[in-house]
Amino acid sequence: MNNQKQQKPTLSGQRFKTRKRDEKERFDPTQFQDCIIQGLTETGTDLEAVAKFLDASGAKLDYRRYAETLFDILVAGGMLAPGGTLADDMMRTDVCVFAAQEDLETMQAFAQVFNKLIRRYKYLEKGFEDEVKKLLLFLKGFSESERNKLAMLTGVLLANGTLNASILNSLYNENLVKEGVSAAFAVKLFKSWINEKDINAVAASLRKVSMDNRLMELFPANKQSVEHFTKYFTEAGLKELSEYVRNQQTIGARKELQKELQEQMSRGDPFKDIILYVKEEMKKNNIPEPVVIG
């Protein structure tokens, strides 16, 4: 009896080690990548076939563990190294966003692939959001064409609700802002977003994540003015976004002015000084008189 009791843990331990080793080999990210790329090679650029392949593969492959690898492949064609470069010794595919045509219609079609995939496997939502945040931080590592495609795709995905506007936080990265990458990317992104939805819907999404008053941060501190913002985005063909930001600034300035006005009156400041202050603030912030009174 004693001998049997001593043998059981040994046998159990051996089986456990075998399972762990098999599991590690089976869920290796490189092996996962190879499976996905092989499947995409077989589907070719038919995005309907790609969507069906991804739908079916989720039952066999570990999407939950390797969401980042999956999305790297679908966007860039292979696993991305830090900074956004593709490893030379890894398999890659041309069935991806970066290798596709640089036009809105193509990006809309790719957006449907992501949309279907995430609707089918809801647990991928968070992983996809994290992936896009990462990709935005890698923008300097991508070509201008790749950035444009990613911007258009992101705009469409923001419009259809697949992505949350909080991902835009990545664009406020100091280096991206300093080199003008953030502002240029934002132009393409907002164009595709507004093309899908109107400016009111875009504004509502921005407000929901407290991003509506931060758009000027797309520029370096010395260029964070309404004048610079409106000039830049109006010239880029986004007059409605420029007007929205100008209105936001006016609303903010009006609230501050009304608050200061109440404080001055409660302190009993001379009426002449109050009038002078109000006129100066109205002129500085382009606030019409009826708005202040309102």
In this predicted model, what pLDDT tens digit does every residue of 31-54 receive, in sequence order?
Answer: 899 999 999 999 999 999 999 999
Q: Does some domain include residue 110?
A: yes
DSSP state of 85: P
Q: Does some domain include residue 93?
A: yes
* φ/ψ of residue 273, rounded to 5: -70, -40
Residue predicted with more confidence, 292 or 131: 131
* Average pLDDT of the residues of the chain: 86
pLDDT tier for residue 9 given thresholds of 50, 70 and 90: very low
Q: Does some domain include residue 232?
A: no
Residue predicted with more confidence, 237 or 268: 237
Residue-wise over 240-272: b if at least 16 C-beta within 10 A, else e?
bbbebbbebbbeebbeebeeebeebeeeeeeee
Note the maximum CA span of the chain.
103
Centroid of chain to Cα 48? 24
* Cβ proximity of 155 and 190 under 8 Å: yes
Residue 80, SS3 per DSSP = strand
CA atoms of 124 and 64, how far apart (whole Å): 7
Q: Does some domain include residue 147?
A: yes
Q: Does some domain include residue 270?
A: no
CA atoms of 48 and 95, how far apart (whole Å): 12
Residue predicted with more confidence, 266 or 239: 239
pLDDT tier for residue 195 given thresholds of 50, 70 and 90: very high
Q: Does some domain include residue 261?
A: no
Residue 86, SS3 per DSSP = strand
Cβ-count burial of 193 within 10 angstroms (0-12 exposed, 13-18 middle, 19+ buried)?
buried
Residue predicted with more confidence, 95 or 263: 95
Q: Does some domain include residue 117?
A: yes
* Cβ proximity of 173 and 140 under 8 Å: no
Using a pLDDT cut of 70, give the percent of the chain over it: 80
Residue predicted with more confidence, 204 or 90: 204
* Structural domains counted in the chain: 1
* Cβ proximity of 175 and 220 under 8 Å: no
Place of tokens 């019409």: 288
**Sequence-ordered list of residues with C-beta below 8 angstroms from that of 258, at least 6 positions apart, any chain:** 292
**Sequence-ordered list of residues with C-beta below 8 angstroms from that of 24, at least 6 positions apart, any chain:** none
Kindly state the average pLDDT of the residues 81-103.
88
**Predicted TM-score (pTM) of this structure:** 0.80
Q: Does some domain include residue 267?
A: no
Domain extent for 55: 21-165
User: Dihedral of CA 210/108/48/137: which sign?
Assistant: negative
